[in-house]
Amino acid sequence: MNQDRRTQSLSDHYRRPDLADILREAIAKSGKTIRSYQDTAAFDEFHMRGREATRELARLADMSTGDKVLDLGCGLGGPARMLAAEFGCTVTGIDLMAEYIEAAEMLTDMVGLAHRVTFRQGDMQALPFADSRFDVVWSQHTLMNIADKPALFEQIHRVLTPKGKIALYEVVAGNVSPRHYPVQWATDPSMDHLIDGDTLRAQLAAAGFVPSIWQDTTAACRQWFEAIQSRMADRPKDAPPPLGLNLVIGPTTAEKAKNTVRNLKEDRIRVVYGVVEKSFKC
């Protein structure tokens, strides 16, 4: 698939027209007042285990005050705001989808973090940043849509400082195939570019990165999904829709979540944490 077709395919899959207006209206109807980054946690982290996973990854990566962070596929900016608020980082988010960037900027303004968190619409495979710009590149459930991962890792290596690192929380292929579709990141196999964990580590090493931490967190993700399904089953049928990721994913939320749980249970996908440090390439 050429670059233009790939971009169009991803745009079609993730498109959510008027997302900022949808979120603004849902927040108003809920009666919720958005004053803090914590008030948006239910719907602004587009990955398994939400803010809990983001916080765990930040601790594993030893994030600290003053770190300059590039958040790949930043979505609505939830992790970026948390890194700024809790760890003192300065964060730049990049995402292909203009409507996500608009919504991310709106939410960041609401919680008063625009001085620490900025966003840019663009393609992460052609990063529009200078060399050695960032201390950390942050990637959560982002690599699954990238076919040419080695090319992306070359870009990341370029924009990281000499002692920089990647903090990643990614879905990888399990031992069983094919996967059940649709899922959050793919309508069908043509959009799904998962590789297994060993291959991912090998590609990172070839691009000049040395893993310092690598942990499987599949079981925790499966339990998280099962807990969500249990809560949803207990909700009264006439209850209003929750203020959650359904606002971003849309009417296919339940189907995609169900297939993701099946894929986790059947070892069609796994989930890993990784912290990999930049080194000199051979």
Residue 6: predicted pLDDT: 64
The domains located in the chain, with CATH, are 3-278 (3.40.50.150)
For 56-95, the pLDDT digits (tens) are: 999 999 999 999 999 999 999 999 999 999 999 999 999 9
For 127-164, the pLDDT digits (tens) are: 999 999 999 999 999 999 999 999 999 999 999 999 99
Query: Burial letters for 2-23: b for 16+ Cβ neighbours within 10 Å, e otherwise?
Result: eeeebeebbeebbebeebbebb
Q: Sign (positive/negative) of CA torsion 251, 256, 258, 259?
A: positive
For 164-187, the pLDDT digits (tens) are: 999 999 999 999 999 999 999 999
Taking alpha carbons only, the member of 98, 200, 198, 91 closest to residue 144 is 200
Residue 238: predicted pLDDT: 55
Lowest mean pLDDT among 126-130, 144-148, 197-201, 226-230: 226-230
The residue among 82 and 2 whose pLDDT is bigger is 82
Write down the residue that tokens 């990049």 correspond to: 94
Q: Please tell me the distance from the alpha carbon of residue 129 to that of residue 160, in angstroms, as a whole number.
A: 10
- Decide the pairing of beta strands 90-95 and 68-72: parallel
Taking alpha carbons only, the member of 166, 173, 197, 137 closest to residue 269 is 173
Q: Please tell me the distance from the alpha carbon of residue 19 to that of residue 83, in angstroms, as a whole number.
A: 23
Rounded-to-5 percentages of helix, strand, coil across the chain? 45, 20, 35
Q: Sign (positive/negative) of CA torsion 200, 202, 207, 208?
A: positive
Mean pLDDT across the chain: 91
Residue 175, number of CB atoms within 10 A of its CB: 9
Residue 275: predicted pLDDT: 99
Q: Please tell me the distance from the alpha carbon of residue 48 to that of residue 224, in angstroms, as a whole number.
A: 8
For 233-262, the pLDDT digits (tens) are: 666 665 555 666 676 777 778 888 899 999
Q: How much of the chain exceeds pLDDT 70, in percent?
A: 91
Residue 2: predicted pLDDT: 55
Q: How confident is the model at residue 232 (pLDDT cuts 50, 70, 90)?
A: low
Q: How confident is the model at residue 189 (pLDDT cuts 50, 70, 90)?
A: very high
Taking residues 202-221, report their average pLDDT: 97
Q: What is the pTM of this model?
A: 0.92
Q: Please tell me the distance from the alpha carbon of residue 204 to that of residue 183, in angstroms, as a whole number.
A: 25
Lowest mean pLDDT among 1-10, 98-107, 114-123, 196-205: 1-10
Contact at 8 Å (CB) between 51 and 93?
no
Q: Please tell me the distance from the alpha carbon of residue 255 to that of residue 194, in angstroms, as a whole number.
A: 20
Read out DSSP for 208-267?
TEEEEEEEE-HHHHHHHHHHHHHHHHHS-TTSPPPSSTHHHH-TTHHHHHHHHHHHHHTT
Contact at 8 Å (CB) between 137 and 163?
no
For 117-130, the pLDDT digits (tens) are: 999 999 999 999 99
Residue 223, number of CB atoms within 10 A of its CB: 12
